[in-house]
Amino acid sequence: MTRNEELFLRAQKTIPGGVNSPVRAFRSVGGAPRFFTRGEGARVWDADGKAYIDYVGSWGPLILGHADADTVRAVQQTAAKGLSFGAPTEGEIELAELLVQRVPSMDMVRLVSSGTEATMSAIRLARGFTGRDAIVKFEGCYHGHGDSLLVKAGSGLLTFGNPSSAGVPADLAQHTLVLDYNDAQGLRDAFAKHGKTIACVIVEPVAGNMNLIVPKPEFLAAMRELCTQHGAVLIFDEVMTGFRVGPASAQGLYGITPDLSTFGKVVGGGMPLGAFGGRRDIMEKIAPLGPVYQAGTLSGNPLSVAAGLVTLKKIAAPGFYEALAAKTKALVDGLAGAARQRGVKFSAQSVGGMFGMYFAATPPTSCAEVMASDKDAFNRYFHAMLDAGFYFAPSAFEAGFVSAAHSDADIAATVAAADAIFAAG
Ligand SMILES: *Cc1c(COP(=O)(O)O)cnc(C)c1O
């Protein structure tokens, strides 16, 4: 038995499924998850001492790579002065100022401790602001594990959803309308029918939790127009795309101005931090200014804020995103080129520093198309790459991430390994 396997057996005795977040358990690809002991730059080491080039990056936060020296130093120096006060600190103002400066749609922002908290709070705020209950989400988009958001589509386009998790009251789920991603007409129909009751539309402006799906420009544009027309709040969930796809996030990339935005992952630089912000008139509805309650003992935690500040400053370096996007594109072009040469049905694409790989002839544009890709082929590829020392997300339905620490040689080695695997069939 490997050390990883031993640890996994031991973990399962006290932790449900052996993991503290389900997709880590390798359920969809099979085998024992790797327990990591160390990370540095683009690399991680598991409990058996095996090294991997990492394309998960803690599921997105680690845009500077593992154990970035400046980030680690800032956290250590901050920790030495106290871990938490439950009282305001100057760093929080600095981070809020940086966020509203980088993301022009935000006049005000509040810090929380996770992406889930940010989206839950943004939804409550949208409901409180509009006095309406219904929310619109898109099938396959993940917005954290808040009750109203754990809902998948029923059969028809305009069906109100059923919960996709036990423990979510049907009474609550019935307020969530689930539509197809990239379907502007479906959205128009939903507003025509339910426009007066819709508090908000929440969307991943580049979908990254059903593998990666690029938004059609008319889809995002229709969303903006319909929300304005019907007095609904448009929420861009940029927990994954925030500062990952460009310096002003996906809203900057596509030129759409949401009313509220949510952040997590990159903004915390690897520490637990989330944020939600937007229009002043909406944000002023939050306690203590307004009637919408939201709070957190560890919100704006000094260590998380310190890591976020360093990260946001470093990614503002000239050329940072050009280099990151070029490297990510080199990876997907290399993989797709190798697959084409070897006659493997595979495609890949990237947006900034995130990418998708599909065992399908062309990149999917909807959840249904993602579901139709060859999952068994992905699982074989995943394990072959893992054995070869390349760590990708253990699911065919997740996006991948490249960091500034990945070198051209890392990318070339990854493409060469994939080529060998494609050649072997
Ligand atoms: C990761 C993610 C979340 C949830 O964030 P957590 O920090 O895991 O709670 C919400 N929305 C999107 C788009 C995400 O990718």
Contact between 267 and 274 (Cβ < 8 Å): yes
pTM of whole model > 0.85? yes
Contact between 354 and 244 (Cβ < 8 Å): yes
Which residue matches tokens 């386009």? 157
Write down the pLDDT at residue 168: 85
Name the 3-class secondary structure at 170: helix
Domain match, 308 and 322 both: no
Tell me how far the alpha carbon of residue 385 lies from the centroid of ligand 1, in angstroms. Answer: 26
Domain match, 205 and 350 both: no
Contact between 227 and 201 (Cβ < 8 Å): yes
Tell me how far the alpha carbon of residue 340 lies from the centroid of ligand 1, in angstroms. Answer: 33
Taking the C-alpha atoms of residue 243 and residue 309, their distance in angstroms, rounded to an integer, is 13
Total of domains in the chain = 2
Say which CATH number the domain at 83 has: 3.40.640.10
Beta-carbon contacts of 87 under 8 Å, excluding residues fewer than 6 positions away, are: none
Instruction: From 299, 314, 329, give the residue that closes a domain.
Output: 314
Name the 3-class secondary structure at 200: strand
Would you call the peptide bond into 61 cis, given omega within 30 degrees of 0 as the criterion? no
Instruction: From 279, 314, 349, give the residue that closes a domain.
Output: 314
Write down the pLDDT at residue 161: 60
Write down the pLDDT at residue 99: 98
Domain match, 101 and 209 both: yes
Domain match, 118 and 171 both: yes
Tell me how far the alpha carbon of residue 143 lies from the centroid of ligand 1, in angstroms. Answer: 6
Ligand 1 pocket mutation, candidates 265, 276, 299, criterion most atoms within 8 A of CB: 265
Ligand 1 pocket mutation, candidates 147, 240, 351, criterion most atoms within 8 A of CB: 240
Pocket around ligand 1 at a 6 A CB cut-off: 114-116, 119, 142-144, 204, 208-209, 237, 239-240, 264, 274
What's the Cα-to-Cα distance from 309 to each of 80, 83, 94, 113, 359, rounded to whole Å? 17, 16, 8, 15, 38
Say which CATH number the domain at 37 has: 3.90.1150.10
Domain match, 294 and 331 both: no
Taking the C-alpha atoms of residue 350 and residue 325, their distance in angstroms, rounded to an integer, is 8
Active-site annotation holder among 46, 237, 259, 410: 237
Taking the C-alpha atoms of residue 420 and residue 409, their distance in angstroms, rounded to an integer, is 16
What's the Cα-to-Cα distance from 397 to each of 29, 40, 213, 369, rounded to whole Å? 11, 26, 10, 11
The DSSP string of 350-380 is EETTEEEEESSSS--SSHHHHHTS-HHHHHH
Active-site annotation holder among 265, 321, 329, 419: 265
Domain match, 185 and 92 both: yes
Contact between 303 and 83 (Cβ < 8 Å): yes
What sign results for the dihedral spanned by CA atoms 259, 118, 286, 167? positive
Domain match, 164 and 304 both: yes
Write down the pLDDT at residue 155: 35
Find the helix or strand (DSSP H, E) in which 191 lies. helix 184-194
- Whether 381 is catalytic is no
Beta-carbon contacts of 36 under 8 Å, excluding residues fewer than 6 positions away, are: 44, 45, 46, 47
- Whether 419 is catalytic is no
Domain match, 101 and 59 both: no
Long-range contacts of 405-412 (CB under 8 A, 24+ apart): 405/41, 405/42, 405/64, 405/65, 405/66, 405/68, 406/42, 406/53, 406/65, 406/327, 407/42, 408/327, 408/330, 410/42, 410/53, 411/327, 411/330, 411/331, 411/334, 412/334
Taking the C-alpha atoms of residue 52 and residue 403, their distance in angstroms, rounded to an integer, is 14
Domain match, 322 and 407 both: yes
Residue-by-residue pLDDT tens, the chain, 425 positions = 999 999 999 999 999 999 999 889 999 899 999 999 999 999 999 999 999 999 999 999 999 999 999 999 999 999 999 999 999 999 999 999 999 999 999 999 999 999 999 999 999 999 999 999 999 999 999 999 888 888 763 333 344 566 678 888 888 888 999 999 999 999 999 999 999 999 999 999 999 999 999 999 999 999 999 999 999 999 999 999 999 999 999 999 999 999 999 999 999 999 999 999 999 999 999 999 999 999 999 999 999 999 999 999 999 999 999 999 999 999 999 999 999 999 999 999 999 999 999 999 999 999 999 989 999 999 999 999 999 999 999 999 999 999 999 999 999 999 999 999 999 98
Closest C-alpha among 229, 233, 226, 311 to residue 265: 311
Closest C-alpha among 299, 231, 242 to residue 106: 242
Write down the pLDDT at residue 162: 64
Instruction: From 261, 292, 314, give the residue that closes a domain.
Output: 314
Domain match, 230 and 133 both: yes
Taking the C-alpha atoms of residue 258 and residue 410, their distance in angstroms, rounded to an integer, is 37
Contact between 178 and 139 (Cβ < 8 Å): yes
Domain match, 265 and 147 both: yes
Q: Which two tokens stand for residue 15?
A: 């932790």
- Whether 265 is catalytic is yes
Strands 354-358, 400-401: parallel, antiparallel or unpaired by DSSP? antiparallel
Neighbours of 185 (CB within 10 A): 13
Domain span at residue 359?
3-63+318-424
Neighbours of 200 (CB within 10 A): 25
Domain match, 13 and 141 both: no
Protein residue closest via CA to atom 15 of ligand 1: 240
Taking the C-alpha atoms of residue 107 and residue 415, their distance in angstroms, rounded to an integer, is 43
Find the helix or strand (DSSP H, E) in which 324 lies. helix 320-342
Q: Look up residue 165 and give its amino acid.
A: S
Taking the C-alpha atoms of residue 75 and residue 72, their distance in angstroms, rounded to an integer, is 5
